[in-house]
Structure 1
């Protein structure tokens, strides 16, 4: 692939958009977007089918991690598979800073690890 992965600002992610969170399990458990699909980058190739099962024709995938590095790599991988994917600039840190909703297990306050 050539060049950086395309990015969008967290405010450009639509509420009904397909948000793919590629952070590891402990990061996800600490706090995540409620309707996000969680497939850790470390297991992404093995679990790729979980994403394709959720995809509708020509649907854009918004890829997020903590700060944007891992999600940029996954975005490039998806684009190489002819999937319309964009990296969420600033990751979950930007998501939380923008006041977007985070959820965590009951009894814990959501946070971004």
Structure 2
């Protein structure tokens, strides 16, 4: 069962939420991983950076995405689970949707840099 299935959602519902502006995709992998491939419309915030300055990134996330659903992913779901728990503990609507390999089969994906979509 996929991470999305466990949430009781479908990938189509997540895509619609993002297209309506009610949700955002956030990749928490490292830069090298992101450049190898990422989901379209993704924002990027490496878990290692979040761990080093959680207050800073929490402020940025709340300022830009406070009322949105945060759909977090990484390579396999572990790091996105950690980020998800942190954001949930701060009162945000965060969902761990799993790993890039599985998600890239259901969502459009790209390679290369993220065109100014790095959360900093």
TM tier relative to shorter chain:
0.7 to 0.9
1:47 aligns with 57
Query: How far has the Cα of 1:53 moved from its partner?
Result: 2.7
Determine the C-alpha separation between the residues in 1 that align with 2:63 and 2:39.
20
Unaligned runs of at least 5 residues, structure 2: 114-120
Structure 1 vs Structure 2 CA RMSD: 2.0
- Per-residue deviation, residues 11-55 of structure 1 (Å, max 9, x unmatched): 142252301110000001111122111000000124333322321
Query: How far has the Cα of 1:64 moved from its partner?
Result: 0.4
Determine the C-alpha separation between the residues in 2 that align with 1:67 and 1:51.
23
Mark the CA change 1:49 to 1:56 in structure 2 (over 3 Å): closer, same or farther: closer
Query: How far has the Cα of 1:56 moved from its partner?
Result: 4.3
Determine the C-alpha separation between the residues in 2 that align with 1:97 and 1:41.
23
The runs of 4+ residues in structure 1 deviating greater than 4 Å are: none
Determine the C-alpha separation between the residues in 2 that align with 1:61 and 1:34.
15
Greater share of strand residues, 1 or 2?
A: 2
Length-normalised TM-score, structure 2:
0.70
Indicate the larger mover: 16-25 or 45-54.
45-54
Unaligned runs of at least 5 residues, structure 1: 1-6, 107-113
2:101 aligns with 93
